[in-house]
Amino acid sequence: MHKTPLLDQLESGPWPSFVTDLKRAAAKKPQTADLLGLLERSYVDKITHWKHGGIVGVLGYGSGIIGRYTDLPDEFPGCEHFHTIRVNHPSAWMYTTKALRELMDIWDEHGSSVLNMHGSTGDIIFLGTRTEELEPCFAKLTEKGWDLGGSGSAFRSPSCCIGPARCEWAMYDTLEACYELTQEFQFDLHRPSYPYKYKLKLSGCPNDCVAAVARADCSVIGVWKDDIRIDQSAVQAYAGGELKPRGGATKYDKLDIQKDVVELCPTQCMSWDGKTLKINNRECNHCMHCINLMPQALRPGTERGAAFLLGSHAPILEGAQLSWVIVPFMEMEKPFDNLKELMSNIAEWWSEHGKNRERVGELILRLGMRSLLEAIGVEPAPQQVRIPRANPFFFWYQSDFDAEAKGRRYDTRQGFVR
Amino acid sequence: MHKTPLLDQLESGPWPSFVTDLKRAAAKKPQTADLLGLLERSYVDKITHWKHGGIVGVLGYGSGIIGRYTDLPDEFPGCEHFHTIRVNHPSAWMYTTKALRELMDIWDEHGSSVLNMHGSTGDIIFLGTRTEELEPCFAKLTEKGWDLGGSGSAFRSPSCCIGPARCEWAMYDTLEACYELTQEFQFDLHRPSYPYKYKLKLSGCPNDCVAAVARADCSVIGVWKDDIRIDQSAVQAYAGGELKPRGGATKYDKLDIQKDVVELCPTQCMSWDGKTLKINNRECNHCMHCINLMPQALRPGTERGAAFLLGSHAPILEGAQLSWVIVPFMEMEKPFDNLKELMSNIAEWWSEHGKNRERVGELILRLGMRSLLEAIGVEPAPQQVRIPRANPFFFWYQSDFDAEAKGRRYDTRQGFVR
Amino acid sequence: MTERKTDIGPPHYGQFLHPVIKANYGKWKYHEIIEPGVLLHVSETGDKIYSVRVGSPRLVSTDFVREACDIADKHSQGYFRFTSRHNMEFFLTDLAQLPALKADLAAKGLPIGGTGHSVTSIVHTQGWVHCHTPAIDASGIVKAVMDDLFEYFGSHELPAQVRLALACCLNMCGAVHCSDIAICGVHRTPPKVLHDKLRHLCEIPTTIASCPTGAIRPHPDKSLKSVIVNEERCMYCGNCYTMCPAMPCFDAEKGGIAILVGGKVSNSKTPPAFSRLAIPWIPNNPPRWPEVVAAIRKILTKYAEGANKWERVGEWIERIGWERFFEVCDIPFTFQHIDDYKFQAYDTYRTSMHFKF
Amino acid sequence: MTERKTDIGPPHYGQFLHPVIKANYGKWKYHEIIEPGVLLHVSETGDKIYSVRVGSPRLVSTDFVREACDIADKHSQGYFRFTSRHNMEFFLTDLAQLPALKADLAAKGLPIGGTGHSVTSIVHTQGWVHCHTPAIDASGIVKAVMDDLFEYFGSHELPAQVRLALACCLNMCGAVHCSDIAICGVHRTPPKVLHDKLRHLCEIPTTIASCPTGAIRPHPDKSLKSVIVNEERCMYCGNCYTMCPAMPCFDAEKGGIAILVGGKVSNSKTPPAFSRLAIPWIPNNPPRWPEVVAAIRKILTKYAEGANKWERVGEWIERIGWERFFEVCDIPFTFQHIDDYKFQAYDTYRTSMHFKF
Ligand code: SRM
Ligand code: SRM
Ligand code: SRM
Ligand code: SRM
Ligand code: SF4
Ligand code: SF4
Ligand code: SF4
Ligand code: SF4
Ligand code: SF4
Ligand code: SF4
Ligand code: SF4
Ligand code: SF4
């Protein structure tokens, strides 16, 4: 065992310590002992000791494995090869202990015994194995029903919120959609063939508990179209303090319906006369605030589906983006053919025009939204923009003039040509 | 006289007709009769009949005249030469009839008798004269105390709101500042030596009645630092309806102090208990709303000066910009040396780095704000930004590391080096 | 002849100040608006001055100005001024003088108004009267629109002040980029390169640099000493024509008018804001532009009906949402509305679920 | 050996659903939070399920997972899950089982919390444990910060939920760009080009294209087959290093930590928002990063004191203004705060008089 005086200082304190846990694994595995030693060295040097990964993988797949090697192989031979295996997680990260134990056994046999539950994209991350272990480990995984997740310029393992499994606000079946789409795109998940990574996250409602809008190129977020259902007596109970605000999630005793709910509604579409809560549903923008504060009094409507937003990613290359509304509302019924088609069409447009390492959101910025919308057959809608353009620098296509000539004005809603 | 059946249709209707007025001038001046004919032709052709101006001007000046020629000189010989003379207006567009009559006489003698009161930058615009008239017209003008305004890549005629001359909200002497600065930059006004145009507009308060923030590279807007002065009895009078909202500028009978004033205050720093109006002045952002609605009850504070904002312009080349806060507060006392110095320093930096036809606001975008601030010796302040950067793509200069090394942390407020 | 004077600058305003203004300079205490177009300013000294605001076509003759001088001599002690929006203001020291002034103004067909919650004069530009790049006329459209909105000039019937502006091309000399309702002339044809003229008239590098989208390149046939335009990347801004007269982009039928809305300049309540595209194109239809007049009236009427007290046009739209604005004004939403201009596009995305159906 | 299976995808979640969850799938009516970390969901059928949320270091051993399985076997019918923020959730059908579960968790040192108005687990990344581009470690800083903020994990004392995230380099795998408080590792040295290695390891055009600011150019000495970096234009993003290992930009002393604040993801009240730069640099000080811990506590405390009910960090700052935020948190405002990155800078200007002194 290497000495780890700096890391040891991370064993105290109330939050569970990864150091303590790594030491357990290190006691069993020499390579993990080296990992600890290497980490301690980084704590001293204040620098990473991992090198660029070469290309390693399992047969036929271009993704799922991140090659990793240390720059100090002599001192820490156990870390000479220390590759990552991304194992695609099940929808909403639900497990039986049986399944998990099987996975742990595989990883004890073929790797470092160290892992992330889970990676930031959602996968189970097996951290640290040698090239020769990859294929046997993969065989064991598939035998038990598991497959690798995505990496590189591929479709990435989609993830979803717990949705209908345990949440009253799920506007569609996030788990099933996640499963279906993962299956649909298996080929693209394992064989990098896009300009760059392509992620999908599915949230059941605008609370967006998987951060889809910020962390997935394709962000599918549940929404309703009709009226919020109100139980007026429950509203009274919140006003009276019998029901706790936000289901008890706060230190606050009771709601002031006017101040806490009505006045904070972003569209100002609610009113409260002390007895009855009214909502002008046509003006509601589905922010969820009122529902969040009074889960027993208010429920989303019953005409349900999802909005499809596109383009978010972290800052590389040109700066971070949030996803942009493309389709304000789509039905979300199994087998989700509409979503599959939409995502394929987008990927096709992107693959055709995208530069190497250009996320789809960046391509939209470069080519303009119209290029995408026309390619995928989606009409312009005010919901797509927060605000129309301020500059007068806009293009006209021949199709616009043709429409105009046919007496359709300049209106592309009528004059729309694929 | 040319026939003008289309223009004739603009003689009816309640708004005063420029056509009727042009006809008066046309009756006296053949070239103005041709102007009417030419305009009628444009109404038929739906296209302009003016060509690019060649370079014309008065001796020693590079600006003040816009050369203009028609593309139909044979049909409309009076418009063959039809240059613009920009005459620099007096502060706040104040006149005696005597002075104006003198100007009109000059223009009748040397031009078309057609003019704009005023041009969009503020000048008196004499529209239409021949090259050979320029020099004599200029001599007459200067003799009567007038000079030309700016044009081309020069300093442009500054303008200002009526301010202290007739407005209770002027935080500094806009008229005097406008005059002083115009005089200071006479050389630059008449001899284009900047990368592009450089405008200055001065408003006495944040109501910005000369649209400085949108229409002038240098936008000087009055502001106070201390407390809004409240006359509580006048507040009561507004509440009671004895005083009319906004001094009578509306169809509304009376103010609801809570709804109309307190709740619309953007910083929510006011309160009203039905008797006393309170303002948490430290949180006030000087928007003027409350003062605007109750001019007899509220008055700005007495510690006065102006904010200096920089960079606004119309969309050419890269899209329109609004001016950006550079100096949140500066004293504004005659002879305004601080403002003169600031504007010179900025012009110097811009002239050094700017490309041909690059407005100063565009240069800031290209080189980054730090480049400007350091060049002109202004420290970074949170007032300069609406919101700090979202991207992590920031630079460090050696001066920052030096400051850090001296134990000054990374803090450029302390580590600031000119 | 006397010695040549230069760089004397404009006369000092001091000599142009009405005596009451001079005496109370910097001492004003408060103001009232007695009736539309008539301001009262009260000084700390107790002095009062009444200002009567009067519309003008801005494009005027010397005789027009002389007539205004006659009025000022008669009613305003020989002083008057113009406003930042090109109205005239006459000064009275006694309200009793108002009826006489009104009568003289009426005789000349000059309207009083433009204060408070009105539509004041339209800031505008040259158009076909005097510029070389316009897509539209300026004064003619302004006349047609003001005739139609005349009721709003002389009244305070709107929820807030409404500022209109017009620019005849994208240079936007009318600074329409921050107006409640903006009228902007737009070309829709890429420049036609006149190769023969270009080689004599234009500098090729400047011409290339003038294009915001980089649509202009040197002509592959070097002997021509000219340029070519990638028409797909041209958005008809006309900036190349400004730099190079051999690149006209005019077309009588394709040129037209865009309407932008929701801009403002003052800081009152909300910060200054850009105008945003409402209608990308309306035909250019002289002499009275009925489609433009109708479109503006529609927007103004819907605003007047829908806005809360004190709400500027843009504040109203932000409150109801752009999707509702397009709906209530019955304006189709097109590809043109979606920003695709470089860096600006980024900030106009809808990156939230905050929308209405 | 059996036939090689590929592209089977993950197991269907159906087999992993707790029986009560399976029976009430899609039928949930409402929820309550019984106490911090303990959720109750009630179905339209009347069924109930209690979920107990438990913190985890995320970077764990197989034994850790097995122990969690033991707990699930004992208390949760052999089912459990992980959340989108890497906490664990155990399921109870009866509240009476809670004390026993709590005891077992306590014995393992596993904390309950992360619900409602708490600080839940910090989404984070690999750091020195497993990545090649980090400026900082991940798990170590997370441990240090969570130790310090522990009181907020197991309570609902804050004005709203507060979400922290950490990324060890600008790639931002922790997706810190939309967090209430974000910890981001930053380099501050331009890459050193290792010319000898570069020619063998890297493709020159891809390397050049990887630079967002265009700082990389081909080496003037063509025979070197390498590149040079214009250090003045480099903002140390490390993207070139990602594409080309011969361009390391690490420096033990200059690397450090930036803190960004005010981002969010949900649509509740306000739309999703980016985190904004609060502190451009804090030294990288293992093993317990006291300066980072202190800075975050300061911001959190000031937020807790100053925010209105229900206000997220960013909503609080927007209300009081950024100038006040820097003041109350005693954070100096520097050149680094002012955006100068291409198109993004444009929208961050203060283009109004809406500021405070
Ligand atoms: C493992 C993981 C971090 C973690 O500790 O959880 C991770 C690790 C790496 N990420 Fe990531 N990213 C991980 C989730 C993310 C996320 C979060 C998400 O998916 O929700 C993001 C932000 C969202 C996004 O996609 O933009 C993310 C944005 C990046 C980027 C920047 C992409 C961009 O467009 O800005 C890079 C750089 C790149 O692709 O070259 C990157 C690159 C990398 C690489 C491959 C760097 C490299 O070239 O070696 C890291 C490999 C580390 C390793 O040893 O395995 N990683 N990466 C996450 C994947 C685990 C999983 O599969 O579940
Ligand atoms: C006369 C006037 C319009 C009017 O009818 O009032 C005018 C007329 C012209 N402007 Fe302007 N601009 C006039 C005020 C403005 C304003 C408004 C302002 O100053 O408040 C702007 C917007 C603010 C700004 O500066 O950005 C303005 C933005 C432009 C631009 C675009 C500049 C930009 O950065 O976006 C151009 C194009 C150029 O410079 O090549 C331009 C160019 C022109 C030219 C010189 C076009 C040309 O090359 O011939 C026009 C000459 C017309 C003529 O025949 O005299 N004009 N121009 C205004 C000047 C009168 C005066 O001196 O008082
Ligand atoms: C005369 C003039 C200044 C000048 O030096 O020429 C002027 C004069 C006054 N303005 Fe103004 N403003 C004048 C152009 C402007 C402009 C510039 C523009 O329109 O291009 C603005 C910014 C417009 C914008 O935001 O788009 C402007 C925004 C204001 C405001 C803010 C109103 C708001 O709700 O946004 C006030 C305050 C108010 O009206 O209560 C104000 C108030 C005033 C007061 C009440 C100031 C005072 O106490 O004397 C004056 C009479 C207002 C009225 O007419 O109702 N003035 N005012 C300008 C008259 C223009 C005209 O002929 O119509
Ligand atoms: C379990 C989990 C989903 C999952 O599939 O894993 C989940 C579960 C719930 N979320 Fe969430 N959210 C979960 C991550 C998120 C995220 C994502 C994130 O943080 O990365 C967000 C967006 C955060 C953001 O905006 O930055 C999120 C924003 C919300 C909100 C919006 C709160 C707000 O004021 O912005 C609600 C509504 C509420 O709390 O009243 C909510 C409400 C809920 C409810 C009440 C839904 C329900 O009725 O069951 C669940 C319990 C909330 C609680 O813990 O107080 N959930 N929730 C995630 C738990 C993470 C954890 O372990 O801490
Ligand atoms: S996103 Fe909505 S549906 Fe999904 S878990 Fe969160 S609150 Fe429930
Ligand atoms: S969901 Fe949001 S917008 Fe809709 S009524 Fe509730 S608070 Fe208002
Ligand atoms: S800007 Fe202010 S000071 Fe100047 S006229 Fe307008 S309201 Fe008065
Ligand atoms: S000036 Fe504006 S911010 Fe200040 S108190 Fe009045 S309304 Fe509020
Ligand atoms: S807006 Fe264009 S066409 Fe009109 S005056 Fe200005 S430059 Fe000329
Ligand atoms: S009109 Fe504008 S966009 Fe078109 S080529 Fe000329 S400069 Fe470029
Ligand atoms: S944030 Fe950077 S250093 Fe950290 S895991 Fe991701 S790529 Fe590696
Ligand atoms: S670190 Fe980033 S900015 Fe610097 S040279 Fe490399 S890619 Fe360019």
Q: Residue A330 domain-assigned?
A: yes
Ligand 7, pocket residues at CB < 6 Å: B 161-163, 167, 169-170, 203-205, 207-209
pLDDT at residue B139 greater than cutoff 70: yes
Residue A32 sits in the same domain as residue A116:
yes
What's the pLDDT score for residue D345?
A: 87
Q: Give the mutation target among D122, D123, D173, D284 for probing the ligand 11 site: most ligand atoms within 8 A of CB.
A: D173
Residue B196 sits in the same domain as residue B333:
yes
What backbone phi and psi angles, to 5 degrees, belong to A25?
-70, -35
Q: Residue B396 domain-assigned?
A: no
What's the pLDDT score for residue B408?
A: 63
Residue B44 sits in the same domain as residue B135:
yes
Q: Residue A391 domain-assigned?
A: no
Q: Residue B9 domain-assigned?
A: yes
Stretch B245-263: mean pLDDT, rounded?
Answer: 97
pLDDT at residue B416 greater than cutoff 80: no
Q: Residue B151 domain-assigned?
A: no
Give the C-alpha separation, C189 to C179, whole Å: 26
Residue A203 sits in the same domain as residue A64:
no
Give the C-alpha separation, C148 to C298, whole Å: 11
Residue C157 and residue C117 in contact, taking contact as beta carbons nearer than 8 Å: yes
What backbone phi and psi angles, to 5 degrees, belong to C39?
-100, 145
**Tens digit of each residue's pLDDT (9 = 90 or more) over D95-125:** 999 999 999 999 999 999 999 999 999 999 9
User: DSSP letters of D252-263?
Assistant: TTT-EEEEEE--
Label residue B407 by pLDDT band (50, 70, 90): confident
Please give the C-alpha separations between residue D332 and each of B49, D5, D280, D317, in angstroms, as whole numbers: 58, 58, 10, 16
Rg value, chain D, Cα: 24
- Tokens at A96, concatenated: 């039986």
pLDDT lower than 50: segments of chain A = 411-418
Stretch C291-297: mean pLDDT, rounded?
Answer: 97
Q: Which of A254, A274, A299 is the last residue of a domain?
A: A299
Minimal-distance CA residue of chain B relative to D346: B365
Q: Give the mutation target among A209, A260, A298 for probing the ligand 4 site: most ligand atoms within 8 A of CB.
A: A209
What's the pLDDT score for residue D2?
A: 60
pLDDT at residue D346 greater than cutoff 90: no
Label residue B258 by pLDDT band (50, 70, 90): very high
- Tokens at B273, concatenated: 């208990």
Residue B311 sits in the same domain as residue B221:
yes
Residue C179 and residue C260 in contact, taking contact as beta carbons nearer than 8 Å: yes
**Host domain of residue B244:** 229-299
Label residue B370 by pLDDT band (50, 70, 90): very high
Strands B304-310 and B298-299, bridge-based pairing: unpaired
Number of domains into which chain B is organized: 3
Largest CA distance in chain D: 77
Q: A272 forms bridges with which residues in the sheet?
A: A277
Residue B117 and residue B123 in contact, taking contact as beta carbons nearer than 8 Å: no
CATH number at residue A241: 3.30.70.20
C210 lines ligand 10 (CB under 6 A): yes
Mean pLDDT of all residues belonging to chain A: 95
Q: Give the mutation target among A39, A121, A357 for probing the ligand 1 site: most ligand atoms within 8 A of CB.
A: A121
What's the pLDDT score for residue B417?
A: 35
**Tens digit of each residue's pLDDT (9 = 90 or more) over D271-313:** 999 999 999 999 999 999 999 999 999 999 999 999 999 999 9
Residue B211 sits in the same domain as residue B73:
no
**Tens digit of each residue's pLDDT (9 = 90 or more) over C112-145:** 999 999 999 999 999 999 999 999 999 999 999 9
Ligand 3, pocket residues at CB < 6 Å: B 92, 161-162, 167-169, 207-209, 211, 246, 249, 292; C 31, 33, 39, 53, 83-85, 87, 114-116, 120-121, 160-161, 163, 264-266, 268, 312
Minimal-distance CA residue of chain D relative to C350: D271
Residue B269 sits in the same domain as residue B345:
no
Q: In this complex, is the C-beta atom of A62 within 8 Å of any C-beta atom belonging to chain C?
A: no
**Tens digit of each residue's pLDDT (9 = 90 or more) over A58-105:** 999 999 999 999 999 999 999 999 999 999 999 999 999 999 999 999
Atom 50 of ligand 1, nearest CA residue: D131
CATH number at residue A217: 3.30.413.10
The amino acid occupying position C260 is: L
For B23, the enclosing helix (H) or strand (E) is helix B18-28
Torsion of CA B88, B94, B98, B101, to 10 degrees: 50
Mean pLDDT of all residues belonging to chain C: 96
What's the pLDDT score for residue B409?
A: 55
Shortest alpha-carbon distance between residue B214 and chain A (Å): 13
Residue B112 sits in the same domain as residue B24:
yes
Residue A195 sits in the same domain as residue A329:
yes
pLDDT at residue B418 greater than cutoff 70: no
What's the pLDDT score for residue B318?
A: 87
Q: Spell out which residues of chain D touch residue A104, defining contact as CB-CB under 8 Å.
A: 62, 65-66
Stretch C202-223: mean pLDDT, rounded?
Answer: 95
pLDDT at residue B410 greater than cutoff 80: no
Please give the C-alpha separations between residue A58 and each of A106, B44, D4, in angstroms, as whole numbers: 16, 74, 11
Burial letters for C75-107: b for 16+ Cβ neighbours within 10 Å, e otherwise?
Answer: bbbbbbbbbbbbbbbbbbeeeebbeebbebbee
Q: Residue A394 domain-assigned?
A: no
Q: Which of B85, B108, B143 is the last residue of a domain?
A: B143
**Tens digit of each residue's pLDDT (9 = 90 or more) over B286-313:** 999 999 999 999 999 999 999 999 999 9
What backbone phi and psi angles, to 5 degrees, belong to D264?
-160, 170
Q: What is the 3-state secondary structure (H, E, C) of C296-339?
A: HHHHHHHHHHHCCCCCCHHHHHHHHCHHHHHHHCCCCCCHHHCC
Give the C-alpha separation, D101 to D52, whole Å: 9
ipTM of this predicted complex?
Answer: 0.96
Residue A116 sits in the same domain as residue A82:
yes
Give the C-alpha separation, C135 to C250, whole Å: 7
Q: Which of A281, A299, A317 is the last residue of a domain?
A: A299
Q: Residue B390 domain-assigned?
A: no
**C235 CA closest ligand 10 atom index:** 3
Q: In this complex, is the C-beta atom of C271 within 8 Å of any C-beta atom belonging to chain D?
A: yes
Stretch C197-224: mean pLDDT, rounded?
Answer: 95
Q: Residue A411 domain-assigned?
A: no
Q: Spell out which residues of chain D touch residue C353, defining contact as CB-CB under 8 Å.
A: 267, 271
Give the C-alpha separation, D169 to D183, whole Å: 10
What's the pLDDT score for residue C343?
A: 74
- Tokens at C274, concatenated: 């850009």
Residue B16 sits in the same domain as residue B102:
yes
Contacts of B276 (CB under 8 A, 6+ apart): B232, B235
**Tens digit of each residue's pLDDT (9 = 90 or more) over D146-204:** 999 999 999 999 999 999 999 999 999 988 999 999 999 999 999 999 999 999 999 99
Give the C-alpha separation, B406 to B94, whole Å: 57
Residue B12 sits in the same domain as residue B90:
yes
Stretch B92-106: mean pLDDT, rounded?
Answer: 98
Atom 5 of ligand 12, nearest CA residue: D234
Strands C79-82 and A94-96, bridge-based pairing: unpaired
The ligand whose atoms approach the alpha carbon of D59 most closely is 1
Give the C-alpha separation, C224 to A364, whole Å: 37
Question: Is the bond leading into A335 cis (omega within 30 degrees of zero)?
Answer: yes
What's the pLDDT score for residue A405?
A: 85
Q: Do D239 and A317 touch (CB under 8 A)?
A: yes
- Comparing A4-18, B303-317, C211-225, D334-348, the range with the smallest average pLDDT is D334-348
CATH number at residue A105: 3.30.70.2500
What's the pLDDT score for residue B415?
A: 37
